[in-house]
């Protein structure tokens, strides 16, 4: 398993992690297989979405904040219930195919680490699974 850290600088932030995950694929030597990306935190997640237009992640942030506002009269004593809900909505893992040693994204796709309770230093775990020969 590979691990790397992500440093968020904002309360809510979408951080492209493609190069870190690709580095794990490169280190593995796997040419064909599957890459599993997992975020071991309850107030952060990971998603795949468009990487060409920064308005997409701004819209995602705005829509999530509208759906699950930070201040909502939640019962959780820590005061970060919205972050827990948003992380669950995004999910804690993604799978990406590996083809010819590269992450097999669609034309506009990237992996985003989704911070909902930052700024913080977070971990991302990557497991590379080789396809049977």
Reading the chain (133 residues) residue by residue, the pLDDT tens digits are 999 999 999 999 999 999 999 999 999 999 999 999 999 999 999 999 999 999 999 999 999 999 999 998 899 988 899 999 999 999 999 999 999 999 999 999 999 999 999 999 999 999 999 998 7
What's the pLDDT at 116? 98
> Is 24 strand, coil or helix?
helix
- The Cβ-side half-sphere exposure at 6, using a 13 Å CA radius, reads 31
Question: How many beta carbons lie within 10 A of that of residue 39, not counting itself?
Answer: 25
Give the E-state strand segments of 43-118 in sequence order: 44-50, 93-99, 102-103, 109-115
- Each domain of the chain, given as residue ranges in start order, spans 2-130
CA distance 90 to 121: 19
pLDDT of residue 29: 97
Q: What is the dihedral of CA 57, 59, 65, 68, to 10 degrees?
A: -90
Tell which CATH classification among 3.30.70.20, 2.60.200.20, 3.40.1480.10, 2.60.120.460 matches the domain 2-130. 2.60.120.460
């Amino acid at each position: 398993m590979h691990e790397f850290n992500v440093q968020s600088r904002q309360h809510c932030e979408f951080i492209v992690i493609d190069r870190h995950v690709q580095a794990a694929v490169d280190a593995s030597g796997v040419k064909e297989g599957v890459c599993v990306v997992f975020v071991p935190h309850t107030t952060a997640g990971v998603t795949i979405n468009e990487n060409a237009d920064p308005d997409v992640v701004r819209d995602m942030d705005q829509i999530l904040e509208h759906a699950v506002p930070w201040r909502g009269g939640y019962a959780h004593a820590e005061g970060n219930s919205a972050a827990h809900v948003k992380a669950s909505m995004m999910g804690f893992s993604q799978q990406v195919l590996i083809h010819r040693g590269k992450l097999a994204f669609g034309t506009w796709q990237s992996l985003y680490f989704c911070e909902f309770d930052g700024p913080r230093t977070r971990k991302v775990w990557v497991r590379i699974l080789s396809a049977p020969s």
